Amino acid sequence: MSTDTDTSIAVNPLAGALRPALRPARTVVRWGVRHGLPAVLLDRGARGGDPVGRLLRNPAVRDDPHPLYEELRARGSLSPSSIGLVTASHAVASEILRSDRFGVGWDRSQAPRLIRWALRFGDELDATGVAEPPSMLVVDPPDHTRFRRLVGRAFTPRATAAFEPVVQRTADTLLDALERDPGTRSGEIDLIDAYAAQLPVLVIADLLGVPTERRADFLRWGAAAAATLDPGLPFRRYVAAERALRAMHAFLREHFARLRRDPGDDLVSRLVGLPDDEALTERELHATVMLLLGAGFETTMNLLGNGVALLDAHREQWEALRVAPTGWDGAVEEILRFDSPVQLTGRTVKDGGTLAGRPVRAGTRVTVLLGAANRDPEVFREPGRFDVGRANARDHLAFSAGIHYCVGAGLARLEGVVGLRTLSERFPHLRVTGRPVRRDLRTLRGFEHLPVTLR
Ligand code: HEM
């Protein structure tokens, strides 16, 4: 089956001198096919009551998607939507994510001619986002298996455990600085800016061997990359995101050249130095490292921010964890379940058949609501209750399942436990004192600002 990973897209007839001159036109076409057209469809769907349209477009649903999830659950385990099917069921989501009847690629040869042309015309390595092929997130085997094997070596349980001192040291250094900062003695600080974003970006920079001094750039680029995960971005926001993606690709190109000359003991040095029979193409290398860098902090900062907000709202559980810190492992699972940093993903039916007792045709898109599956009462008793002692919290799908199960799940858990436990030990009286502001994102869920006082 031809998928979105087709190498034919790289063979653009408009090569050479024409390319720079056509850049603005290509940006418009790229936006049109990836965001403009979906926005029209989703808005029309939202006006007609379509759940996915409302989820992705309605501002009130962004702040609290759970009433919509419950409405969907009441309709059954699989519902139609304007872009295929949608599920809020844990059982159906697990089946889809684990089954090889579903893939992440899609058969672009079935798309209308104009769309095929637009995808080809708009294709450009330097404008490619984290969820565009050949990012492993959106390619099927055998390419997916190849990327996953190369990257997975750096994320084995043993490799992750060896990272604990780095995570602890990073958390301590950040909190030492806050402790010394006279501004934090009486005043309010933004915990996202000062800690929740910094810890994961410093840890992933260490793992990938990228210079930590560039962390402000990574955070800016990561935010732009995260925005492109939501279909339907307005043009101006897309242009800003594309500018950030270009800067990120340019940085990566220089970084790869540096590591080829002077390799270190890090994952990216290993990836650029692979023997010929395993070597990644330039495009694959960009896609893989960009995904690791972005996924490595964009999600984990949400875990930390969501966790602090939840534990502030359930103060007795924060106090209980201070007395019995072994409970942090379970607490992190419950935070991931209750307020999942990644709310949704999607799959395409590869082989037609039935799903949840309903016939499904090859090519149908299914939106899998991870955040809703994690509140499924068939699996979690009183799912709307936040309880760090919940025995089966770990059954959540916050890291997905099947072959795309989050490669960094172990590292994210480690950062969650060390990051939150250390914060609670150093600043036990921390309180959320200002109005938290959610990020303007749908696929990812977290806070843009979380104003706290530390003492
Ligand atoms: C709380 C933090 C995190 C959450 C909630 C999270 C969640 C996810 C989810 C839901 C997926 C799969 C999406 C799908 O099935 O379509 C995924 C994949 C992935 N994650 Fe994470 N992630 C987190 C942290 C990390 C970290 C720290 C890294 C790496 C350093 C990372 C790297 C990746 C990669 C490379 C994939 C693609 C795996 C594949 O396609 O095979 N993630 N993550």
10 has a pLDDT exceeding 70: no
Note whether 9 and 137 are within 8 A (CB). no
Ligand 1 in reach of 108 Cβ (< 6 A) = no
User: How many whole angstroms separate alpha carbon 400 and alpha carbon 342?
Assistant: 9
Residue 249 CB contacts under 8 Å (≥ 6 apart), including other chains: 125, 126, 128, 286, 290
**Can you give the pLDDT at residue 455?**
87
CA angle at residue 411 from 410 to 415, to 5 degrees? 120
Tell which residue, 270, 257, 273, 9, has the closest CA to residue 125.
9
User: Does ligand 1 have an atom closer than 6 angstroms to the CB of 120?
Assistant: no
In a domain, 1, yes or no: no
Q: Atom 36, ligand 1: which residue's CA is nearest?
A: 406
71-89: pLDDT as tens digits: 999 999 999 998 899 999 9
Task: Residue 230: count other Cβ atoms within 10 Å of its Cβ.
Answer: 20
**Separation of 143 CA from ligand 1 center, angstroms?**
17
CA of 399 to the centre of ligand 1 (A): 6
Mean pLDDT, residues 338-345: 98
Q: Is residue 437 part of a domain?
A: yes
Indicate the pairing of strand 447-449 with strand 358-360: unpaired
**Considering the domain boundaries, does residue 2 fall inside one?**
no
Amino acid (one-letter) located at 226:
A
- Find the mean pLDDT for residues 120-141: 93
Atom of ligand 1 nearest to the CA of 297: 27
- Strand-strand pairing, 84-87 and 365-369: parallel
The per-residue pLDDT for 109 is 81
pLDDT value for 19: 62
Between the CA of 441 and the centroid of ligand 1 the distance, in Å, is 17
Q: Summarize pLDDT for 412-435 with one digit per residue, the tens.
A: 999 999 999 999 999 999 999 999
363: left (phi over 0), alpha (psi -120 to 50) or beta: left
CA 299–ligand 1 middle distance (angstroms): 8
Residue 321: C-alpha distances to residues 167, 174, 385, 395 (Å): 20, 21, 17, 21
| pLDDT of 3 | 37
pLDDT value for 17 = 55
State the pLDDT confidence band at 54, using cuts at 50, 70 and 90. Answer: very high
What's the start-to-end Cα distance of the chain, in Å?
59
pLDDT at 18: 57
In a domain, residue 88? The reply is yes
What's the average model confidence in pLDDT over 378-391? 98
How many Å apart are CA 62 and CA 160, to the nearest integer? Answer: 33
| pLDDT score, position 401 | 98
Best mutation site among 130, 299, 414 for ligand 1 pocket (most ligand atoms within 8 Å of CB): 299
Distance between CA 374 and CA 344 in Å, rounded? 11
Measuring from atom 30 of ligand 1, which residue has the nearest CA? 296
Residue with CA closest to ligand 1 atom 2? 300
439 domain-assigned? yes
Of 407, 412, 402, residue with least CA distance to 156: 407
Q: How far apart are CA 404 and CA 136, in angstroms?
A: 8
Would you put residue 351 in left (φ > 0), alpha (ψ -120 to 50) or beta? beta
Domain count, the chain: 1
The pLDDT assigned to 275 comes to 95
Average pLDDT over residues 217-227: 93
How would you classify residue 344: left for phi > 0, otherwise alpha for psi between -120 and 50, otherwise beta? Answer: beta
CA distance 265 to 268: 9
Cα–Cα dist 376/348, whole Å: 23
Q: The tokens 């720079």 sit on which residue?
A: 20
405 CA from centroid of ligand 1 (Å): 7
Is pLDDT at 443 greater than 70 in this prediction? yes
The strand pairing partners of 368, in sequence order, are 87, 345
- What is the helix (H) or strand (E) element at residue 358, kind and residue range? strand 358-360
**Mean per-residue pLDDT of the chain:** 93
Whether 452 lines ligand 1, by a CB cut-off of 6 Å, is no
Among 6-10, 168-172, 206-210, top mean pLDDT goes to 168-172
Q: Which residue's alpha carbon is nearest to atom 22 within ligand 1?
A: 406
Q: Is 446 touching ligand 1 by the criterion CB < 6 Å? A: no
Give the structural domain span for 422. 7-453
How many CB atoms sit inside 10 A of residue 294's CB? 27
Tokens 């790289």 locate to: 10
- d(CA 18, ligand 1 centre) in Å: 38
Q: Is residue 317 pLDDT above 90, yes or no? A: yes
Ligand 1 center to residue 87 CA distance, Å?
20
Name the pairing type of β-strands 102-103 and 189-190.
unpaired
CATH of the domain at 116: 1.10.630.10
d(C-alpha 266, C-alpha 218), whole Å: 18
Residue pair 126/246 in contact by the 8 Å Cβ criterion: yes
Q: Which two tokens stand for residue 409?
A: 């799940």
